[in-house]
Amino acid sequence: MNKSVKITADSTCDLSPELCRALGVTLAPLYITAGDRSFRDGVDISPADIFRHVDTHGTMCATSAVNIFDYEKLFGEHAPHCEAVIHICLGKDFSACYQNAKAAAESFANVHVVDSQSLSSGSGIIVYDAALMAKDGMPAAHILEKIERDTALVDCSFVIDRLDYLHKGGRCSGMEALGARLLHIKPSIEVSDGRMGVGKKYKGSFQKCLQQYVGDKLEDIDSVDTQRIFITHPMCPDDIVEAVKAAVTRRAAFGECIVSKAGCTISSHCGPLTLGIIFKRKA
């Protein structure tokens, strides 16, 4: 056994394959059900596949947690060779992933499971930090202490252009979806204390609303940790993404501004035109 710490995470952290390889992070894919077929998130299904399924069949895809067996297999591949495995989960109130990972970890003395209290790049920013610390040779106890403290500092939110995916998934009424479309309302979805809720409701074109959203989220720039920010979306046009990136960089000189593609979980619930900026607040 060497002294390295292995970082693993749920596929819902929405870190790209390239970034995972560079950071040495291994992902546990959630399951996506489309019709009568089951797929692994990011392995044999993509957000584009989900959108095609919805457009073709008019029915939503369903997501399900990583099972205990899959977690045991993942941990078993790495735990014997490392000082520790730190697995960072999708927030426990969003899925059974955390409970399943904790059950699987009971078979290993050196596997630690962390509730990210978030989703998408809200989890990803914690995974990223943990992986950098592991690459720097920091001990598992130090990494765990840091990331468990930092989960409360993550500011994770998204603006949704259309509510039809939320409506089809039973998360808002048809009247709400129709009203939002007629009034050009774009709601922001905020993650707070491990739960999702509706934040500010913007009005106008998607691009205009995103500019207002960036201004609101980064208004108190002195409270923002400017080391790193994610701009995460499933399939927004390049010009919209670049306009958001420009708005972000006008507000502050972030050390890293990472554009990330949202994975199948966010995509299946929110649709193709969804975009969020994710960062940490200062302690």
Model confidence at 165, pLDDT cuts 50, 70, 90, reads low
Q: Say whether pLDDT at 200 is over 70.
A: yes
What's the maximum distance between 2 C-alpha atoms anywhere in the chain?
61
- Mean pLDDT on 268-273: 85
Helix (H, G, I), strand (E, B) or coil at 88: strand
Model confidence at 175, pLDDT cuts 50, 70, 90, reads very low
Q: Say whether pLDDT at 259 is over 50.
A: yes
**pLDDT tens per residue, range 128-146:** 999 999 999 999 999 999 9
Q: Minimum mean pLDDT among 112-126, 154-168, 258-272: which range?
A: 154-168
Which percentage of the chain shows pLDDT scores above 70?
Answer: 92
Q: Say whether pLDDT at 245 is over 80.
A: yes
In the chain, DSSP assigns E strands to: 5-10, 26-28, 31-34, 37-40, 62-64, 84-89, 111-115, 154-160, 185-192, 195-203, 224-233, 256-261, 274-281
- The domains found in the chain, sorted by start residue, are 5-152 (3.40.50.10170), 153-281 (3.30.1180.10)
**pLDDT tens per residue, range 203-244:** 999 999 999 999 999 999 999 999 999 999 999 999 999 999
* Confidence at residue 178, expressed as pLDDT on a 0 to 100 scale: 35
Which position has the higher pLDDT, 236 or 177? 236
pTM for this model (two decimals): 0.92
**pLDDT tens per residue, range 36-88:** 899 999 999 999 999 999 889 888 888 999 999 999 999 999 999 999 999 99
Q: Say whether pLDDT at 1 is over 80.
A: no
Q: Residue written as tokens 């922001």?
A: 188
Alpha carbon distance 120, 124 (integer Å): 6
Which of 166, 168, 196, 195 shows the shortest CA–CA distance to 186?
Answer: 166
Which position has the higher pLDDT, 163 or 8? 8
**CA 254 to mean position of chain CA atoms:** 20
Mean pLDDT, the chain, integer = 91
Q: Say whether pLDDT at 176 is over 70.
A: no
Report residue 214 as tokens: 């960036």
Which DSSP string do the residues of 151-176 spell out, in sequence order? GGGEEEEEEES-SHHHHHTTSS-HHH
